[in-house]
Amino acid sequence: MKTSKPPQKSTPDQGLPTQVAFVSIDEEQAGQRLDNFLMARLKGVPKSKVYNVIRKGEVRVNKGRTKPDYKICKGDEIRIPPIRISEREPVAKASNTMTKLLDSSILFENEGLLVINKPPGLAVHGGSGVSLGLIETLRQMRPDARYLELIHRLDRDTSGCIMVAKKRSMLRHLQAALREKNTSGITKVYQALVIGEWPKSCRRVDAPLLKTEVADDERIVRVHADGKPSLTEFKLLNSFDKCSLVEARPITGRTHQIRVHAQYMGHALVGDEKYGSDEFNAQMRSIGLKRLFLHAAELGFYLPDAKEKTIVKAPLAADLAAVIEKLSDPKTTSQ
């Protein structure tokens, strides 16, 4: 009588499992989302496949089913099913143009952290029809790097400051800071062009946001009493004929927060195809705007054991700066 092979015991550095593998989570790995942990481990496996095996219950945490956003803990035992090599997508190669662009877009670097001025149109990671994102390109650029992971995300069309950890300890430190709601946390400053004249008196939008999943990667967010508490601070920077340049500081970190809070005030972001005005967007395309006008202009954070906050700034992306130059009759506002 044939006997089945026992499940494969796996260590974090082993490759794609050809039979069931069990991984014990250590302190360095703890705190990650389950989906992110699996995608980093199962390199080359389509994102859709990773989500599929989680939903089917083929991935188990401590013998139980769980969701993709579960935060793994020290001591957790994760069951990983066998993944056939044939299910892996061919790895795309980053172009020389993109690698040179990213290399010239580094705003800050030390032994544990990279801050990059992300170009517009570049997804932060591959998946959902995107073969190569920012993090995959960085890993190709630095094949000897032992660890490169996104600390937070920006939408594909959004340009500006994004942080990448070079050490697991830095990832944990800054992701913990992202959860803080006071000056010990991370401060983010965006610049956005909105439709109409933004009222100088509107400096805070405090409105709960409810997120609804309408497809695998499609989300709709709206102001709703059942939503999560959400706060954005706004400041008028410049007024133009039919729109305004504002500074937006999200105090909370909800999905599409700036876009939905601006829309709620009656001043949707220019170029926003989900929450904005198709008619106004068409007018702006005539002067060269080809995307959402949203730029992550500044990040402020404390490095481990540092007493002073590090401030990193990204100049307005060239395509957005060109639109500002074409807008008529700018009037500088004083706050």
CATH number of 96-330: 3.30.2350.10
Instruction: Kindly report which listed range (104-108, 168-172, 243-247, 312-316) carries the lowest average pLDDT score.
Output: 168-172
Which run of H or E residues covers position 207? none
Q: What is the pLDDT of residue 40?
A: 79
By residue count, the chain amounts to 335
- Evaluate whether the domain defined by 14-83 bears CATH number 1.10.1530.10: no
Q: For the chain, give every residue range classified as CATH 3.30.2350.10.
A: 96-330
Residue 195 near residue 226, CB atoms below 8 Å: no
Question: pLDDT (tens digit, 9 = 90+) per residue, 255-277?
Answer: 999 999 999 999 999 999 999 99
Which run of H or E residues covers position 318? helix 318-326
Q: Which residue has the tokens 């706060």?
A: 231
Question: pLDDT (tens digit, 9 = 90+) per residue, 74-91?
Answer: 899 999 998 764 544 556
Q: What is the pLDDT of residue 286?
A: 93
Cα–Cα distance for residue pair 68/178, rounded to 1 Å = 20
Q: What is the pLDDT of residue 200?
A: 92
Cα–Cα distance for residue pair 187/107, rounded to 1 Å = 16
What is the token pair recorded at 137?
A: 């390109």
Selection from 42-56, 170-184, 287-301 with the highest mean pLDDT: 287-301
Q: What is the pLDDT of residue 91?
A: 65
Cα–Cα distance for residue pair 105/103, rounded to 1 Å = 5
Residue 252's DSSP bridge partners are: none
Residue 319 vs residues 159, 189, 292, 295: alpha-carbon distances, Å: 10, 19, 11, 11
Neighbours of 114 (CB within 10 A): 21
Amino acid sitting at position 194:
V
- Residue 69 a catalytic site member: no
Model-level pTM? 0.77
Residue 128 near residue 217, CB atoms below 8 Å: yes
Cα–Cα distance for residue pair 184/186, rounded to 1 Å = 7
Band (pLDDT 50/70/90 cuts) for residue 2 is: very low
Amino acid sitting at position 316:
L
Band (pLDDT 50/70/90 cuts) for residue 314 is: very high
For residue 320, pLDDT beyond 80: yes
Query: For the chain, what is the mean pLDDT?
Result: 87
- Cβ contacts of residue 188 below 8 Å, gap of 6+? 161, 249, 250, 296, 298, 299, 300
Q: For the chain, give every residue range classified as CATH 3.10.290.10.
A: 14-83
Percent of the chain with pLDDT over 70: 86
Residue 113's DSSP bridge partners are: 165
Question: pLDDT (tens digit, 9 = 90+) per residue, 4-42?
Answer: 445 544 444 345 556 888 999 987 788 888 988 888 788
For residue 176, pLDDT beyond 60: yes
Residue 246 near residue 194, CB atoms below 8 Å: yes
Instruction: Kindly report which listed range (104-113, 160-169, 216-225, 314-323) carries the lowest average pLDDT score.
Output: 216-225
Q: Which of 35, 155, 157, 319 is catalytic?
A: 155
What integer is the mean pLDDT of 299-323?
Answer: 95
Would you list the DSSP string of 65-89? ---TT-B--TT-EEEE----GGGSP
